[in-house]
Amino acid sequence: MKWNKAANKNIMKAGLVCAIILLFAGNSLALAVQTESDVIDINQLQGDGVKQIVINPIDLQPGQVITPFGTIMNKSQVYEVKSGEFIDLVNISRNATGRPIKLPTYNGWIEDAYYYKGAGITDYSGYWVVPSSPTSTGSVIYLFIGLEPSSGTDILQPVLQWGNNGAFGGNYWTLASWYVTSSSSAYSTPLSVNVGDTIYGRIYRPSPSYPTNWVVNAIDVTKSTTTTLSTTASSTYTYSYVALEGYDVNTCSQFPGDTSFTDLYLYGITPSWTKEQRQTGCGLGVDIISSSRVNLNT
């Protein structure tokens, strides 16, 4: 019997597509949009699981989004919250709506610095300046400060974004506040920002009387514009981060310029940062200048 390489290759491709469809068919991977005056509880929206695998966008199911926590979700589990409104992630009381999206192939966290405090962190803030834009398009870039629990199951973060993440964005810079869990996400109304704008981010618990209530502020100081996410989050946040995250970054020109995070402040704490270089090349590197300043080089 004559071996037909072309036919065999087509059979292998068809099998791979079928395997991917079967892999995603049984899972609830989700995105959604919150409308004004709604209250949301993401903890009541847990699906069957979230796949954190590298996959080409053309092989994904419609209606998925990549979050700045490195998870792929279905559109029913990521919520846009009008800036300044409150999202209750413990007692959900709304129906979610979404929109079709397209995912890039992702690479994940690229470099970061972190500080650990076992007793928990209740207030974390810092400044950074919107860096020069990538000179080549196609990538999704996230630059942020963030708080995570020791379990690593969720993150609160004001995020500077370049590119289209499937929910919003494009070949320009945007700013939004996020709360991402392993199966659900919420983000505040995105703001458009410019290269050179000063950004201020703050994550804090507004009252010890309500220990599960959190506020994430993302402010363009230059423009005096703010986008805020108010949410419930039941974790004890022990890790503070300064991080660069990227997806579908295939060339060095798809990275932005260097970013310096300054005036880093943790309430009642003088942090001693530890750097993590998760990927190398393209001039990447983390410089810990002081307890209040960390540079992420690209």
What tens digit of pLDDT does each residue of 33-78 get?
Answer: 333 333 334 444 444 433 334 444 444 567 888 788 767 788 777 8
**What is the number of structural domains in the chain?**
1
Does the residue 164 lie in any domain? yes
Does the residue 81 lie in any domain? no
Per the listing, tokens 């502020």 go with 217
pLDDT at 79: 77
Q: Say which range, 15-24, 103-112, 162-171, 178-187, has the weakest mean pLDDT.
A: 15-24
pLDDT at 163 over 90: yes
Query: What does the longest C-alpha to C-alpha distance in the chain come to?
Result: 77
Contact 213, 206 (CB under 8 A): yes
Does the residue 239 lie in any domain? yes
Residue range 252-281: average pLDDT?
95
Does the residue 82 lie in any domain? no
Does the residue 83 lie in any domain? no
Does the residue 167 lie in any domain? yes
Question: Domain containing 127 — which CATH number?
Answer: 2.60.120.1270
Q: Say which range, 38-42, 112-116, 288-292, has the weakest mean pLDDT.
A: 38-42
What tens digit of pLDDT does each residue of 184-204 get?
Answer: 899 999 999 999 999 999 999
pLDDT band at 86 (very low <50, low <70, confident <90, very high): low
Residues 112 and 62: their CA atoms lie apart, in Å, by 31
Instruction: Residue 197: name the closest of 216, 212, 175, 217 by CA.
Output: 175
Q: What pairs with residue 25 in β-bridges? A: none
Burial 19-53 (b: 16+ CB within 10 A, else e): ebeeebeebbbbbbbbeeebbbbbbebebeebeee
Does the residue 20 lie in any domain? no
pLDDT at 80: 82
Q: What pairs with residue 141 in β-bridges? A: 162, 246
Instruction: Please give the residue that has the higher pLDDT: either 12 or 62.
Output: 62
Contact 270, 291 (CB under 8 A): yes
pLDDT at 156: 98
Per the listing, tokens 């928990």 go with 120
- State the residue range of the domain holding 226: 106-297
Does the residue 46 lie in any domain? no
Residues 13 and 59: their CA atoms lie apart, in Å, by 11
What tens digit of pLDDT does each residue of 119-132 get?
Answer: 999 999 999 999 99
Residue range 23-29: average pLDDT?
37
Calculate the CA 57 to chain-centre distance.
Answer: 18
pLDDT at 9 over 50: no
